[in-house]
Amino acid sequence: MKIKTAVTLSLFVFFTVMVAITAAYVALYHEQISETLKF
């Protein structure tokens, strides 16, 4: 596998997983997040 292909796949997996977790967390715990981010 070429390194460019491996980088592309890794970026795809990384952003998919991180966006999915963040979206689910924000959807379910948005009140807790606003509390945490309140300075």
Partner 1 sequence: MTYLSKYSGIAIITILAAVPGIIWAFQAATPNSFSSLGSAALSVGKLLGLSGMALFSLNFILAARLKFTEPLFRGLNRAYIVHHFVGGLALIFLLFHPMLLTLQYLTISLSAAGSFLLSTLTELDKFLGELALATLVLLLVLTFYVKLPYQFWKLTHKFMGLAYFLASLHVLLIPSDVSVIPLLRGYMQTLIATAYLCILYRTVFRQFTVPRFQYKVANVVQVNPQVVEITMSPIKQKMHYRSGQFVFVEFRARGVRWEDHPFSIVSEPAEPNLRITVKSVGDFTETLKLLQAGAPVFVEGPFGQFTFQSIGNPKQLWIAGGIGITPFLGMVRELEKERVPPATSVILYYVVNKPNEAVFLEELRAIAQKFSFFKLVPYFSEQQGRINGGIVEEGTRDLAERDILLCGPPPMMYALRRQLVSLGINNQKIHSEEFSLQES
Binding site for partner 1 (CB under 8 A): 3-4, 6-8, 10-11, 13-14, 17-18, 21-22, 24-26, 28-29, 32-33, 36-37
Tell me the closest approach of the beta carbon of residue 3 to partner 1, in angstroms.
Answer: 4
- In angstroms and rounded to an integer, the radius of gyration of the C-alpha atoms of the chain is 15
- Give the CA-trace dihedral at 34, 36, 38, 39, to 10 degrees: -160
Tell me the closest approach of the beta carbon of residue 38 to partner 1, in angstroms.
Answer: 11
- Give the CA-trace dihedral at 19, 20, 21, 27, to 10 degrees: 100
Tell me the closest approach of the beta carbon of residue 6 to partner 1, in angstroms.
Answer: 6
